[in-house]
Structure 1
């Protein structure tokens, strides 16, 4: 009878090596392969986090490495939580988060619902809608900065035409009232396709038999939408909100390209403010405490939201 591959390898393996291999359990072999990856991830993520926590209790400045470093306890945290400028950046971030997520969910779900209704050219329109999401944020920022230019920007001409003003002296990114909305428009244009794809996956996961049963019960299209479509797509919508909320909370490059945090500090998000504290003012201990507060905030809100998401999935 022909020998199997395992038997041939066993005969070719020295007795000591064979006994060593046979002595390893499946769990030990799994850890042998997974262990180095886990160790690398811990080194990349856990060590910097512990080091940042340690620095947050000191007055360390990275541009003065030889200066005396003293332990300040919770003073950095107290200064951050009592700083009105920090709360202004938090307010700007909350404004950006709320409106970008709101518009992206509403427009993204609407586009997904329209595309899900199969029509001629469906694939072409889906590809065209997804294109903005494939671009780099730096490219998108430069592109929209050109559109927002006061003299040659097409977008400003449209706004000036609607408001009756002069396009030559108008720019959304330099207007205190409109600059926050300028970055909301750009982020919505870029990331609505992402939300659309998630919603489209949710819509296409609904079995047609459910709608057929509802039609047999003479349920109207509006009733089917509210009693079937929305409840079954809700977990996907909540997942999209979670992804976009985490990403937009740490938004940096797009806003820097568009407004740089201006005019003044009206569009200075927490990520931009943190960068200035750490790498312009070189207050390393202070910025470390700032980073820990932001981390705890995002982690806490995300944990609560995930629990709510799990409850919705269990229904």
Structure 2
């Protein structure tokens, strides 16, 4: 039995035209699926940001809901920028950022360069090296707090063996001088593999024919390293610095598990100081202004850095 004219016309009509005939275009269908996600992201990110900005201009306290909220204008911002404790936490954060990023980039690149040599057992060693970054920061903090124990900690015995001193004399978490370095060591141990993987991707993206051409021109290994390897891996290194800088600026759980911000305030990073203002002192308006200042600082520095990164990639 032959098909009807209507059936032939339906088969001949392209799917897009058929959907438009039914009243829904491809763009409308796409918006139907995407719109819920967009609204969810706006609700989770944009609304809290706007609410935080509003609270930053008030003396609101979350533990005193019934009291009248006073509009204080820029007073919270002025107090933060003139507070010596805030600047001390900024200094502690800067120390943590500079040293962790520097060590992770140097060690991560060195490990990536070694693994890229493709020796026997390469895959096994790569898996072993990346294990620390798979752990939870809270677990890592607890694990290293035992290693740092003055009486029974393995780390102290290793240092004592290398220096020839008593193991109990090294109190990494209780010493004002050593505590900042204790968190630098742990974060470097945990996140150097992340930088290594990024650098390894950069090294393996360099075509072999470039090195072959350099060997034909009798370029030494050092010359190849500084004129080919470093320039071509530099965008990947800068990307690793960006990721680790943003993550370490908001570092919280690892430091809380290790030192709790002590002894004194030497390891009180801005994230810990912000948490104390918001949930221990309950100065919600003040903490909101604090959070906005940190957000603007990170966003501004990241924007400048991304522009520099784009210029390097365009070379």
Calculate the TM-score normalised by the size of structure 1.
0.93
* Cα displacement string for residues 166-198 of structure 1 (whole angstroms, at most 9, x for unaligned residues): 222431111100110000000000000000000
Alignment CA distance shift 1:49-1:219 (3 Å): same
Determine the structure 2 residue equivalent to 1:239: 239
Determine the structure 1 residue equivalent to 2:297: 297
Alignment CA distance shift 1:196-1:295 (3 Å): same
Secondary structure of 2:159's aligned partner: helix
Are 2:150 and 2:168, in contact at CA under 8 Å, matched by a contact in 1? Answer: yes
- Cα displacement (A) at 1:22: 4.0
Alpha-carbon distance in structure 2 between the residues aligned to 1:138 and 1:257:
6
Secondary structure of 2:312's aligned partner: helix
- Cα displacement (A) at 1:144: 0.4
Alignment CA distance shift 1:75-1:119 (3 Å): same
Secondary structure of 2:224's aligned partner: helix
- Cα displacement (A) at 1:247: 0.3
Alpha-carbon distance in structure 1 between the residues aligned to 2:68 and 2:146:
48
* Cα displacement string for residues 17-53 of structure 1 (whole angstroms, at most 9, x for unaligned residues): x676643333222222111111110010000000000
Determine the structure 1 residue equivalent to 2:15: none
Alpha-carbon distance in structure 1 between the residues aligned to 2:52 and 2:133:
33
Are 2:19 and 2:25, in contact at CA under 8 Å, matched by a contact in 1? Answer: no
Where in structure 2 are the equivalents of 1:178-197 lying within 5 Å? 178-197=178-197
Alignment CA distance shift 1:289-1:217 (3 Å): same
- Cα displacement (A) at 1:165: 3.3
Alpha-carbon distance in structure 1 between the residues aligned to 2:28 and 2:116:
48
Alignment CA distance shift 1:27-1:166 (3 Å): same
Alpha-carbon distance in structure 2 between the residues aligned to 1:62 and 1:125:
50
* Cα displacement string for residues 39-98 of structure 1 (whole angstroms, at most 9, x for unaligned residues): 110010000000000000000000000011100000000000000110000000000000
Secondary structure of 1:48's aligned partner: helix
Determine the structure 2 residue equivalent to 1:170: 170
Secondary structure of 2:30's aligned partner: helix
Determine the structure 2 residue equivalent to 1:160: 160
Determine the structure 2 residue equivalent to 1:69: 69
Where in structure 2 are the equivalents of 1:50-65 lying within 5 Å? 50-65=50-65
Determine the structure 2 residue equivalent to 1:40: 40
Alpha-carbon distance in structure 1 between the residues aligned to 2:257 and 2:131:
20
* Cα displacement string for residues 255-303 of structure 1 (whole angstroms, at most 9, x for unaligned residues): 0000000001100000000000000000000000000000000000000
Alpha-carbon distance in structure 1 between the residues aligned to 2:80 and 2:308:
30
Determine the structure 2 residue equivalent to 1:14: none
Alpha-carbon distance in structure 1 between the residues aligned to 2:2 and 2:225:
63
- The alignment's C-alpha RMSD in Å is 1.9
Stretch of structure 1 that moved more, 126-135 or 21-30: 21-30
Determine the structure 2 residue equivalent to 1:259: 259
Determine the structure 2 residue equivalent to 1:269: 269
- Cα displacement (A) at 1:102: 0.3
Calculate the TM-score normalised by the size of structure 2.
0.93
Structure 1: 5+ residue runs without aligned partners? 12-17
Q: How many residues align?
A: 306
Structure 2: 5+ residue runs without aligned partners? 12-17
Alignment CA distance shift 1:58-1:213 (3 Å): same
Determine the structure 2 residue equivalent to 1:85: 85
Determine the structure 2 residue equivalent to 1:108: 108
Secondary structure of 2:173's aligned partner: helix
